[in-house]
């Protein structure tokens, strides 16, 4: 059957037969399917892991190694059969567009051959996204984030409180009105007050305590929430856990909302958070050694939220109670609610009561991360660029001789070194006369080189006398024209510099304020790169037609 297909291609579609496109297409699709299945299997979310260690995650290094090895084997075997019969060099009759189609085939093969890792990663995240839809994940992440305030965790440091909870919520916002889209509660502005500023204190140079009035400030041990002062170790000062599936401001608002419930003694609201947490835990078959009501009684101490019982995030969650003095910590412990154990010659304290918080947090953090960008075009742009580069290297080898290909590679390397040195020297001697740096000089030089090569190539086609060194020029053009996006970006920057008056000159370095176009390009650099790749596909059409005309010129 395979021979019949090959014979049919030879008679009806000689280009597909000559490029061995069908066999390599089948092979690469099968390999991609295998990586997709492998990624989907290994993407299973483990809701029983309290340490965030997924043994399947360690397979990624092995997968990357296998992908590289398989890609090399496929491309080498394909090239062995592909270059065996070069219809273009043998002057077989070819249509005007056949050379362009041949490059597209090479590009497709290269894209499929470098896509093994992205396909694996996509399937890996797809498995996680298939557990719940995005709205449900956000809902559950909110519950887990709120519950994180009632388990063992960190406190906000005192240095944070030269600004208030209000300032924290407004980080990155222009006005308080911007918060209304989340909750619409305008009372937050009146509920939160500014904390008095503290004097500068170097914690590494001085030891502070109540007896050292010169360096001690009571405000270093307290924080103000909703016009009330709490100790740093109060449950009101507990830090939240966040999820990447939604903006940080949402998690901060969840924290503020729960702490306002605590302040207003809204017991039912706090209890509902704990009940909802247990509902999620029970759904995943996770167990705690306390009930939701017991958990509530441990943490709900509405006087100042200081006399609470620490609840562990899992059964092996070592704690450090910052409410106790360090020197007494290991000698005097609440043995009713904690127990101690020596590990590696050190005593560790563990809470007797725990809930499966870490298991749920690690599981839903994995799912939320998979939703951040289902297809991360920023990460895979490198694969696209590499595929294009590889396609140009293969295509240039097909349309020119091996000698011209090697000479072009060496020539570009030597020219690159020479122009780099020239740019450094020119910048050193002319920096007071020119308002451009060495990088701009380097790019301008190469712009001139590429333009000269292109016009020389057109000249050889027009006069049709002999090729001379135009074979080397063809290779250079195929390799260098794709760098046009860098030259265009440099040209925009250069134009901006010469049209803007009096740049700031500091310590031999010129500083230029970017214009709106430069800022837009830098902010949308990946969009620009993908757009440029599309432009490359378009300009290759007339370029391949010119190369076909060039091939008909005599060698000498």
Alpha-carbon distances, residue 54 vs 44, 60, 129 (angstroms): 9, 11, 17
Please say whether the beta carbons of 370 and 45 come within 8 A.
no
In this predicted structure, the answer to whether residue 297 has a pLDDT above a threshold of 80 is yes
**Pair (126, 157) in one structural domain:** no
Q: Is 410 exposed, middle or buried (0-12, 13-18, 19+ CB in 10 A)?
A: exposed
**Pair (233, 353) in one structural domain:** yes
Instruction: Tell me whether residue 116 is in a domain.
Output: yes
The structure tokens 């090959």 sit at 6
Instruction: Tell me whether residue 196 is in a domain.
Output: yes
Please say whether the beta carbons of 422 and 444 come within 8 A.
no
Range 469-490 average pLDDT: 86
Instruction: Tell me whether residue 377 is in a domain.
Output: no
**Pair (189, 90) in one structural domain:** no
Q: Cβ contacts of residue 490 below 8 Å, gap of 6+?
A: 439, 440, 443, 444
Range 256-281 average pLDDT: 89
Q: Is 74 left (phi over 0), alpha (psi -120 to 50) or beta?
A: alpha
**Pair (35, 17) in one structural domain:** yes
**Pair (17, 146) in one structural domain:** no
**Pair (491, 428) in one structural domain:** yes
Q: What's the confidence (pLDDT) of residue 302?
A: 81
Range 534-541 average pLDDT: 92
Q: Is 208 left (phi over 0), alpha (psi -120 to 50) or beta?
A: beta
Q: Given pLDDT bands bounded at 50, 70 and 90, which one contains residue 166?
A: very low
Orientation angle between helical segments 267-283 and 292-299, nearest 10 degrees: 140
Q: Structure tokens of 227? A: 């016009």
In this predicted structure, the answer to whether residue 260 has a pLDDT above a threshold of 50 is yes
In the 8-state DSSP scheme, what is residue 346?
A: E
Q: Which of 205-209, 219-223, 478-482 has the lowest mean pLDDT?
A: 205-209
Instruction: Tell me whether residue 389 is in a domain.
Output: no
pLDDT tens digits, one per residue of 396-447:
988 888 888 999 999 999 999 999 998 888 877 766 666 667 777 888 888 8
Range of the domain at 102: 1-130
Q: What's the confidence (pLDDT) of residue 246?
A: 82
- Classify each residue of 214-232 as buried b or exposed e, where b means 16 or more C-beta atoms within 10 Å of its C-beta: eebeebbebbbbbeeebbb
481 versus 223: which is more confidently predicted?
481
Q: What's the confidence (pLDDT) of residue 382?
A: 87
Q: What's the confidence (pLDDT) of residue 334?
A: 57
Instruction: Tell me whether residue 522 is in a domain.
Output: yes
**Pair (479, 510) in one structural domain:** yes
Query: Does the model's pTM come out above 0.85?
Result: no
Instruction: Tell me whether residue 360 is in a domain.
Output: yes
Round to whole Å and give the CA distance between 451 and 459. 12
Q: Given pLDDT bands bounded at 50, 70 and 90, which one contains residue 533?
A: very high
Q: What's the confidence (pLDDT) of residue 508?
A: 44
Q: What's the confidence (pLDDT) of residue 204?
A: 35
Q: Which of 47-56, 94-103, 235-244 has the lowest mean pLDDT?
A: 47-56
The last residue of a domain, from among 92, 115, 130: 130
Total count of domains within the chain:
3
Q: Which helix (H) or strand (E) holds 529?
A: helix 525-551
The last residue of a domain, from among 109, 130, 151: 130
Instruction: Tell me whether residue 393 is in a domain.
Output: no
**Pair (116, 31) in one structural domain:** yes
Please list the residues that pair with 223 across neighbouring strands.
230
**Pair (121, 139) in one structural domain:** no
pLDDT tens digits, one per residue of 333-369:
556 666 666 666 666 777 788 899 988 998 998 898 8
pLDDT tens digits, one per residue of 365-394:
889 888 886 666 777 888 999 999 999 999
Please say whether the beta carbons of 438 and 423 come within 8 A.
yes
Instruction: Tell me whether residue 67 is in a domain.
Output: yes
**Pair (95, 151) in one structural domain:** no
Q: What is the CA radius of gyration of the chain?
A: 33
**Pair (325, 429) in one structural domain:** no
Q: What's the 3-state SS for 206-253?
A: CCCCCCCCCCCCHHHCEEEECCEEEECCCHHHECCCCCCCCCHHHHHH
Q: Given pLDDT bands bounded at 50, 70 and 90, which one contains residue 251?
A: confident
**Pair (225, 173) in one structural domain:** yes
Per DSSP, the three-state class of 343 is: strand
Q: What's the confidence (pLDDT) of residue 96?
A: 75
The last residue of a domain, from among 130, 161, 186: 130
């Amino acid at each position: 059957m395979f021979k019949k297909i090959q014979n049919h291609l030879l008679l009806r579609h000689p280009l597909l037969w000559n490029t061995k496109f069908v066999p390599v297409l089948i092979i690469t699709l099968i390999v991609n399917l295998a990586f997709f299945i492998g990624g989907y299997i290994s993407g299973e979310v483990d809701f029983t892991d309290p340490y965030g260690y997924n043994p399947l995650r360690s397979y990624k290094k092995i997968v990357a190694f296998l992908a590289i090895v398989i890609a090399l084997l496929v491309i080498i075997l394909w090239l062995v059969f592909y270059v065996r019969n070069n219809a273009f060099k043998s002057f077989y009759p070819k249509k005007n567009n056949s050379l362009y189609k041949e490059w597209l085939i090479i590009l497709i093969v290269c894209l499929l051959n470098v896509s093994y890792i992205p396909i694996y990663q996509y399937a890996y995240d797809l498995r996680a996204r298939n557990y719940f839809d995005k709205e449900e994940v956000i809902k559950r992440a909110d519950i887990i984030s709120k519950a994180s305030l009632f388990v063992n965790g960190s406190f906000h440091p005192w240095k944070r409180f030269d600004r208030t909870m209000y300032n924290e919520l407004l980080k990155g916002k222009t006005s308080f009105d911007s918060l209304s889209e989340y909750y619409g509660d305008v009372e937050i502005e009146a509920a939160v007050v500014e904390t008095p500023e503290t004097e500068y204190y170097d914690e590494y140079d001085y030891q502070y305590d109540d007896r050292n009035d010169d360096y001690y400030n009571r405000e270093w041990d307290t924080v103000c929430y909703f016009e009330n002062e709490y100790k740093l170790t109060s449950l009101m000062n507990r830090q939240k856990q966040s999820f990447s599936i939604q903006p940080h401001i949402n998690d901060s608002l969840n924290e503020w909302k729960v702490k306002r419930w605590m302040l207003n003694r809204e017991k039912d609201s706090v209890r509902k958070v704990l009940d909802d947490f247990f509902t999620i835990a029970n759904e995943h078959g996770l167990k705690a050694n306390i009930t939701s009501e017991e958990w509530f009684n441990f943490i709900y101490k509405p006087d100042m939220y200081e006399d609470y019982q620490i609840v562990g995030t899992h059964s092996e969650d070592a704690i450090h109670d910052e409410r106790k003095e360090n020197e007494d910590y290991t000698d005097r412990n609440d043995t009713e609610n904690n127990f101690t154990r020596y590990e590696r010659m050190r005593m560790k304290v563990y809470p007797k009561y725990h809930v499966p918080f870490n298991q749920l947090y690690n599981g839903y953090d994995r799912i939320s991360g998979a939703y951040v960008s289902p297809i991360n075009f920023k990460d895979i742009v490198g694969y696209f660029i590499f595929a294009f580069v590889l396609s140009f290297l293969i295509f240039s080898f097909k349309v020119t001789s091996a000698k011209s290909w090697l000479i072009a590679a060496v020539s570009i390397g030597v020219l690159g070194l020479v122009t780099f040195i020239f740019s450094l020297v020119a910048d050193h001697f002319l920096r007071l006369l020119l308002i451009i740096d060495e990088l701009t000089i380097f790019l301008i030089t190469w712009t001139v080189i590429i333009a000269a090569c292109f016009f020389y190539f057109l000249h050889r086609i027009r006069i049709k006398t002999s090729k001379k060194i135009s074979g080397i020029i063809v290779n250079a053009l195929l390799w260098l024209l794709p760098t046009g996006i860098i030259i265009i970006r440099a040209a925009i920057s250069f134009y901006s510099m010469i049209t803007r008056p009096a740049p700031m000159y500091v310590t031999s370095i010129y500083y230029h304020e970017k214009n709106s176009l430069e800022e837009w390009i830098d902010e949308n650099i990946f969009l620009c790169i993908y757009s440029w790749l599309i432009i490359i596909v378009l300009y290759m059409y007339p370029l391949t037609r010119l190369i076909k005309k060039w091939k008909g010129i005599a060698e000498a």
